[in-house]
Structure 1
Amino acid sequence: MAGTDIAVTGLGLVTPGGVGVEASWASVCGGRSPASLDPALQDNPVRISCRVPDFDPEHLLGARRTHRLDRFVQFALVAAHEAVADARLDPRTWDGARVGVVLGCADGGPGTVEQQHHVLREQGAGRVSPLLLPMQLPNMLAGQTAIEFGATGPNLVVATACASGATAIGTARDLLLLDRCDIVLAGGSEAMITPLVMAGFAQMGALSKREDDPATASRPFDEDRDGFVAGEGAGILVMERVADARARGARVRGRVTGYGTSADAHHMTSPHPDGLGVEAAVRSALADADTGPDEVQHVNAHGTSTPLNDLSEARMVSRTLGGSPLVTSTKGVTGHMLGAAGAVEAAFTVLSIERGLVPPTANLSVPDPRIDIKLAQTLTSLPIDVALSNSLGFGGQNAVLAFAHA
């Protein structure tokens, strides 16, 4: 319904595809993953990661701030600066009390924790940094962003595991519709590629072991997929009410028309085998958008490249969306960006609608024969009016965003 639509007026991305929206978009459209063997994981059971290339926080943020911020906050600030500039907003002139920040992450700053734990073990408690907590606490993601931009309105971090970025965008939409604020910086950021965290994922059997060819290890919906590749980065959207955006002459890049959320209530880490939880979220998002399932032309799937997730999500799409939408998973290129994934993929969905292009599902050589959905295997031109972005997280938490053309 037009009266409840929210405008996306700015995008900012820091991804394994590159720093910035255009570099990230070109990478996913090119369909080649930068995943590689990671020297920081040389002693781990699985050594593959998908890091942000050429990320120079001292150049982007200054040396003093860089050393006081964990990597997950650095990513968010860089992406937020791009998004605010893209929205043609000037924080020096806005009413900060009407500007909110809602960001998602799954973990916070494990890199700082692991580093300072090493200091504790080797040098003693007296050498632990007083910045340990201000750097690693998850809420500092939104807190530091508020400080950076003078945003004194609603400020929170949401944690729904790998659905966090999408949950943040949905929550931001609710705040705007409730008139709690006029502008929200929404999205997610994550920097979890550390030896301890990756060892945990490896011990769970969640990671791809395709170390002979890391660039093809993340292969969503492929019959030979064997797990995900961990990525990192951030995605930030500037969101406003459509009427407000148009009144100030802003470019509306896309509209968030619906949001659905649900819980599987099924298993600690595995999705429901038939995707019943995410189906409920899809139906809720479509009802919120006043859109029929056969009107959806494109789905940016959660598509992690794990055997269970891809099959259950595909079964849900096939059963629920009767119009046979074109489905992609950009995780074939970016890897799984964990708590940032939903925000980054929301941004990619906006770009797909805006540019009429669906990125390929990278490394999809032979689709799983049990999967009966229309998968994008090449960069595809497609006029899109309505699209969905699906996000799922450990604990059975689901978030689905519906987008429409500006």
Structure 2
Amino acid sequence: MPTNSVYVNCFESVCCAGESSEALFEAICTHQSGIKSFNEFIPNKSIALGKIEKPFSIESLLAVTCKKVLVQSSLENFENTLLVVGSSVGGMQRSELLFLRDHHYANIDPKLHAIDAIAHILSQHFTFKDDISFSTACTSSANALGYGYEMIAKGVYESVLVVGIDTLSLTTIRGFDALGVLSSRPCQPFDMNRDGMNVAEGIAVVLLQNTPCKESIEFLGAGYSSDAHHMAHPSPDGEGALLAMQKALQCAHIMPSEVGYINAHGTGTQANDTSEACAIARLFGDKVSVSSTKSITGHTLGAAGALEAIVCAMALQKQILPPNTNLFEPENKTLNLVNAAKSRTLRYALSNSLAFGGNNTALLFGLPQ
């Protein structure tokens, strides 16, 4: 079957660091973190989180964000568009609030609890050709983007709307706390003195199409691996991440030396950063600029893949390298870790998403030729 080109034509996002993608990119480049300290999520403990401060529900915010993407696009509606959702939480936060209020399950609607709750909510505002939802922990929306890429490349759909979303669920926050990986301050990816991650909420909406528009970024390939090293720890040498990046490059017949920027998964935990840094160093050496933007956004979990794909797209559009923040003493001395926003001629950018169980996804983007 012939392979069609796939383009990122429109996108929008909302997270603790910005109410739009433009605001987010500015925050990243100027080191303005949206992470704050909270003490209401875990008894007798202050933790740093990325919370969206809005007077209305995140479900309403999601519909508004999708509407903004529709207005940006050449589409009149989403009736011939596939909706692909990536989320690790789905409607779980809503269920938690109801249970904690009522102390029983009677008022919990199953349609608004599971991962496909997001598609159900959006169906009240838009009509889609069909929908599918992915829940693969921190690679959820990266895998949703990969699926959208496949659908367009193979000619099944002409347009795919990818939605990455996660909210601040108590189940998730306390689960990460039980693992001992939450930080009380904004995280420090790749730093010697990092002490953990910041759970965050976020929305990222990306429209993929088979024809380009004025400011399109080409979606060139996706690479996947499942190393299954451990339920919650990556392989120490980064074998899974390495394989995913290699597959993404092979998909587009791109050499490692051609990639100008990598948006790393970079969560700020001891295990993740050491493993991912090792993988990047093995494949790219010091020849590619690397940053994690989670010190600004926090870890938006299932939304992170789509949110960071948007950061890569904007880096290519603006020809600017997004910097690391809170990086003072790098643990890995080989990596070319960017500390300040820099103008740079960029042709290709890679986005890494790594998840529990060794589920790894790398997405490759480039300027259209």
Q: Classify the TM-score, shorter chain.
A: over 0.9
The alignment's C-alpha RMSD in Å is 1.9
Say if 1:375 and 1:44 are closer, same or farther in 2 by CA, change over 3 A.
same
Is contact 2:189–2:327 with CA below 8 Å preserved after alignment?
A: yes
Residues in 1 aligned to 2:217 and 2:117: alpha-carbon distance in whole angstroms:
29
Where in structure 1 do 4 or more consecutive aligned residues deviate above 3 Å? Answer: 73-76
Structure 2 residue corresponding to 1:202, chosen from 177, 182, 185: 177
Residues in 2 aligned to 1:135 and 1:387: alpha-carbon distance in whole angstroms:
36
Shift of 1:165: 1.1
Match of 2:17 in 1: 17
Is contact 2:305–2:352 with CA below 8 Å preserved after alignment?
A: yes
1:47 is paired with a residue whose SS is strand
Match of 1:51 in 2: 51
Residues in 2 aligned to 1:188 and 1:385: alpha-carbon distance in whole angstroms:
25
Residues in 1 aligned to 2:210 and 2:231: alpha-carbon distance in whole angstroms:
37
Cα displacement string for residues 24-54 of structure 1 (whole angstroms, at most 9, x for unaligned residues): 121111112121122532625443211123x
Match of 2:135 in 1: 159
Counterpart mapping for 1:5-404 below 5 A: 5-41=5-41, 43=43, 45-53=45-53, 55-57=54-56, 66=57, 71=58, 73-91=59-77, 96=79, 98-121=80-103, 124=104, 128-129=106-107, 132-153=109-130, 155-191=131-167, 193-208=168-183, 210=184, 214=185, 217-242=186-211, 245=212, 250-322=213-285, 324-368=287-331, 370-404=332-366
Residues in 1 aligned to 2:282 and 2:306: alpha-carbon distance in whole angstroms:
25
1:107 is paired with a residue whose SS is coil
Worse-matched range after superposition: 342-351 or 194-203: 194-203
Amino acid at match of 1:56: P
Is contact 1:189–1:340 with CA below 8 Å preserved after alignment?
A: yes
Amino acid at match of 2:175: G
Residues in 2 aligned to 1:403 and 1:186: alpha-carbon distance in whole angstroms:
16
Shift of 1:142: 2.3
Is contact 1:37–1:48 with CA below 8 Å preserved after alignment?
A: yes
Match of 1:60 in 2: none
Residues in 1 aligned to 2:122 and 2:109: alpha-carbon distance in whole angstroms:
18
Residues in 1 aligned to 2:243 and 2:25: alpha-carbon distance in whole angstroms:
30
Residues in 2 aligned to 1:280 and 1:169: alpha-carbon distance in whole angstroms:
18
Task: Identify unmatched segments of 5+ residues in structure 2.
Answer: none
Amino acid at match of 1:381: S
Residues in 1 aligned to 2:72 and 2:312: alpha-carbon distance in whole angstroms:
17
User: TM-score under structure 2 normalisation?
Assistant: 0.94
Residues in 1 aligned to 2:248 and 2:165: alpha-carbon distance in whole angstroms:
23
Shift of 1:395: 1.3
Is contact 2:195–2:269 with CA below 8 Å preserved after alignment?
A: yes
Shift of 1:17: 1.1
Residues in 2 aligned to 1:44 and 1:158: alpha-carbon distance in whole angstroms:
34
Residues in 2 aligned to 1:405 and 1:304: alpha-carbon distance in whole angstroms:
27
Amino acid at match of 1:110: M
Say if 1:4 and 1:285 are closer, same or farther in 2 by CA, change over 3 A.
farther
Residues in 2 aligned to 1:339 and 1:375: alpha-carbon distance in whole angstroms:
25
Residues in 1 aligned to 2:235 and 2:42: alpha-carbon distance in whole angstroms:
34
Is contact 2:4–2:152 with CA below 8 Å preserved after alignment?
A: no
Residues in 1 aligned to 2:146 and 2:169: alpha-carbon distance in whole angstroms:
29
Is contact 2:85–2:163 with CA below 8 Å preserved after alignment?
A: yes
Residues in 2 aligned to 1:109 and 1:40: alpha-carbon distance in whole angstroms:
20
Shift of 1:16: 1.1
Residues in 1 aligned to 2:61 and 2:179: alpha-carbon distance in whole angstroms:
27
Q: In the comparison of the two structures, how many residue pairs are matched?
A: 367
Cα displacement string for residues 42-90 of structure 1 (whole angstroms, at most 9, x for unaligned residues): 625443211123x233xxxxxxxx5xxxx3x444323322222222432
Cα displacement string for residues 124-167 of structure 1 (whole angstroms, at most 9, x for unaligned residues): 55xx32x53222221021233344221123x1110111011111
Say if 1:232 and 1:376 are closer, same or farther in 2 by CA, change over 3 A.
same
2:11 is paired with a residue whose SS is strand
1:101 is paired with a residue whose SS is strand
Cα displacement string for residues 337-390 of structure 1 (whole angstroms, at most 9, x for unaligned residues): 10000100000000000101112111111111x341000111111111011000
2:354 is paired with a residue whose SS is strand
Residues in 1 aligned to 2:335 and 2:247: alpha-carbon distance in whole angstroms:
21
Residues in 2 aligned to 1:4 and 1:222: alpha-carbon distance in whole angstroms:
41
Say if 1:141 and 1:293 are closer, same or farther in 2 by CA, change over 3 A.
same
User: Which structure has the highest helix share of the two?
Assistant: 1
